[in-house]
Amino acid sequence: MYIHRLALVAPSAKLGQDVQIGPFCVVEEDACIGDGTILEARVTIKRGVIVGKNNHIFEGATLGGLPQCVGLAEEDCGAAIIGDGNIIRENVTIHRSMHADSATTLGDDCMIMANAHIAHDCHIGDEVIMANNAMLAGHVSVGKRAFISGAAGAHQFVRIGAFAMVGGQAHLVKDVPPFVTVDGLSSQVVGLNLVGLRRAGFSSSDIKTLKGVYRVLYKSGLNWRETVEKIEKEYTEGVGLEMARFISSTTRGITTERSILPTVMEAREAARAANSTNASHDAVAQRDDDGPETIPLRVVDDEGASLLPPPSKRRVG
């Protein structure tokens, strides 16, 4: 065991074998740190925190801070439990539960990158990666091997399913099903996380099953009750069952699929078609004597509303 002479460790703190505590660390009373865990400089482990074995916690991280809830007394708060083999980078914050008989939990073998925040009563599965500045509000759950990209944020009580991939700066207000990818710009689902599934060793049969569930969920045109009933009836084992259970148990709803936006060529064709049938001045083809025909990309309906997305949202093709 190594404790730097400039660290402050409470006498009642429980330290395992081969623990290393760097300068200016603070370990409060009744905190528990497992074997082989390393605390770099300026780490704070507060009371009510249980840290497992072989974790590496980097400079400035604070584990076990009080929930950011108005009027909550410290004696009413629960614990924060950190599993084994995690990498917790600089300035990460993980808060205790707001209930005395509960805990915020982080699984095993996760990587929580710099400045990420995990609020009270979150439950993070094994092998989860949270990139820089990702933020989870209270009561969020994250499934095994999910990946949350930089600056993404999740509303309280949102669930992120296992093996899901969340893009950078996404803002999540509904549940993210397992195995899918969420686009950071639109914060909507854009398909299965095929790269992650193949890297994780899922079989072709599993991926085919997930594609079937995805089509029912996002392409069938059924209402919600019909969608859930069809998935529960047709997928009763393996990855299909996991998807069915997740979808049927949602309380916030499921993140929607991103609509496919037209290419520039499709927009031009739509403009020409509108020009031939609609005399609207917003969609009139213009021809210069010295140049080729030009077609404005703005197409409007009978009430003057644009039928096309803004230029920044169009695909090029």
Asked if residues 101 and 121 have their Cβ atoms less than 8 Å apart, the reply is no
Complete DSSP assignment for 246-297: HHHT-SS-BPPBPPPPPBHHHHHHHHHHHHHH---GGG--EE-TTS-EE--S
Active site residue 121: yes
Q: What token pair was written down for 80?
A: 């924060």
CB contact set of 236 (below 8 Å; sequence gap of 6+): 244
User: Which of the residues 48, 64, 117, 120 is marked catalytic?
Assistant: 120
User: Which of the residues 48, 60, 64, 121 is marked catalytic?
Assistant: 121
Spatial CA neighbour of 230 closest among 242, 213, 246: 213
User: Which of the residues 52, 65, 138, 240 is marked catalytic?
Assistant: 138
Active site residue 143: no
Where b means 16+ CB within 10 Å and e means fewer, 299-312 reads bbeeeeeeebeeee
Active site residue 99: no
Let me know the angle formed at the C-alpha of 138 by 133 and 143, rounded to the nearest 5 degrees: 75
Q: Which residues are catalytic?
A: 120-121, 138
